[in-house]
Chain A
């Protein structure tokens, strides 16, 4: 029992050291990661970038260097407010007349992190359904939330009871349009402070996408052009900006990104290369002439620009720098044979374990630690050679050594 309980104490120590030691090492070795901020210029119809470091530089893909003012003129859809303030906003951009007001209305920026997709399945499936055409000037927050399982149910928040009449009305409207219950994914903007409402975009269990909204208390359901042939929906992003050309972006399990167009509810595929929705961060910027998708996996970033016909015009790939100094990173993977860390993108439990990137070097380092501990213990006159402790150090490296030393030190006093 003594051996087993000692092992239990050491194991807890090893687990906590495997979390805390790499964490504090990471804090000590952190450096500002370097990655250029890339934009698509409608003026030169190529990528321009801001390279920040000791000296910030503004350049294009070819290597031409610009000053900040020139750079702003090359990215008029990014810096349109600055340009307008100085009276330098050009009404004709890329040969097209684009008034300032159009830019204000049609520029949009969205960001979808892996955590948005991984966590969407664990969100409690209750949503408020606003009235798109209510009498009041601003949207009124409804007194009930809805869920879509075997039917669409409205739960009154004051009584915690189902509003049967309304539930039947909306369930019937959905069935009439061919909706197959239960809903798989629901996307929409729940923000009570929003100005406009487009309702919700709901994927049914057969893979079709529907738009559901409420107008003067009545259900409105539209079957969109998205079907199972486009892929399995994992996430729907809708920010309800009135001036843009799309209702929402649909992300599929295979990494497809689709825009649901306002004009005719058709879906158009946004070119973005290899996108893994569970691991990569996606940033989409839309402006009156182009739609640009940036896919970043932490070490590389791929940017693709397309016109509103959704054909790819230009692609740019760049390597991101690591957030740890290279020498420090090498040492990290030698001294820590494995480590436990917080994964904020994890679908459920945030703690994850990972092995060293240099397992052979880490094993040799652990072997040296174990041998040193064994030799020092035997030479210091221990009655029995510490085979067990040395074996634990061999397997767990520096964590095991720290735990064994702390435990032994406490016992000797």
Chain B
């Protein structure tokens, strides 16, 4: 596990640094946009506007988070299929599923750290401008961004690991529709909604093993 984490760390170090940098930049941009809003307008009016319109004042952060997760998934697994690395790894005297599981764990931890970084950043910047009533709801809303990012990461990983273009197209078609399950109305946290979003995220993680299974001896690759 340690060696796989080390290997994945080397492979993704630039991508991870870029992802954190982009997310930090978007956080800073969001902070300044909100700050400008509070300078230009009556703060109480801004609060009311956000409450009445259910406007997610920090929603722009979910875009770089999702994009980062998708790119990380692709960059982590595309070299495995294009460079036939995964096929070679399958000949090593170790369990291929466990190898893939560790690789996924690395990617998953990266996405989770990125989400924690974003959530903490959003909560910190929101606490300067909003009362607890507003910023206290951030984690329950941001949890959907985490599930969505995990889903996109796994979908990108599945498609990237699949060696044939036909298989890639089929997987992409089946997986991309799952993104519809992460459309959540802001400020309306619900256990049912969290489960609905969690289920495809979990299924998408399991789906990465499907293209990987074809690399094994007798898998026809």
Contact = CB atoms under 8 A, between A and B. Distances in A.
A12 B181 CA distance: 10
Interface string B38-53: 0000111111100110
A2 to B, nearest CB: 4
Contacts of A123: 51, 187
Interface in A357-408: 403, 406-407
B137 A410 contact: no
Contacts of A350: 183-185
A143 interface: yes
Contact of A144 (B44, B137, B167, B171): B44
A17 interface: yes
Select the residue from A10, A11, A12, A412 with max chain B CB neighbours within 10 A. Answer: A12
B170 A4 contact: no
A102 B52 CA distance: 33
Contact of B167 (A15, A20, A126, A413): A413
A124 B51 contact: yes
Contacts of A122: 187-189
A141 interface: yes
A144 B168 CA distance: 55
Interface in B182-204: 183-185, 187-190, 192-193, 196, 199-200, 203-204
A9 B133 contact: no
Residue of A8, A20, A147 contacting most chain B CB atoms (<10 Å): A8
A128 B196 contact: no
A4 B209 contact: yes
A11 B51 contact: no
A410 B207 contact: no
Contact of A5 (B129, B134, B209): B209
Contacts, number: 157
A13 interface: yes
B102 interface: no
Contacts of B208: 5
B178 interface: yes
A353 B192 CA distance: 12
A124 B213 contact: no
Contact of A157 (B44, B168, B190, B207): B44
Contacts of A147: 133
Contact of B203 (A11, A20, A141, A347): A11
Given A9-B158, A406-B173, A412-B166, A1 B209 contact: yes
A160 B130 contact: yes
Contacts of B175: 9, 12-13
Given A12-B204, A15-B178, A350-B183, A410 B190 contact: no
Contacts of B185: 348-350
A16 to B, nearest CB: 2
A410 B209 contact: no
A105 interface: no
Interface in A136-154: 141-145, 147
A411 B162 CA distance: 9
B174 A143 contact: no
A299 interface: no
A171 to B, nearest CB: 18
A347 B180 CA distance: 19
B169 A9 contact: no
Nearest to A13: B174
Contact of A349 (B48, B167, B184): B184
A190 interface: yes
Contacts of B137: 124
Interface in B131-175: 131, 133-134, 137, 158, 162, 164-171, 173-175
Contacts of B173: 13, 406
A2 B213 contact: yes
Given A1-B209, A5-B210, A351-B193, 17 more contacts: A4-B209, A5-B206, A8-B204, A8-B207, A8-B209, A9-B203, A126-B51, A145-B47, A158-B43, A160-B129, A190-B48, A350-B184, A351-B181, A407-B174, A410-B166, A411-B167, A413-B166
Top 9 nearest A-B pairs by Cβ distance?
A16-B177, A410-B170, A349-B193, A413-B166, A348-B190, A5-B209, A157-B43, A157-B44, A13-B174
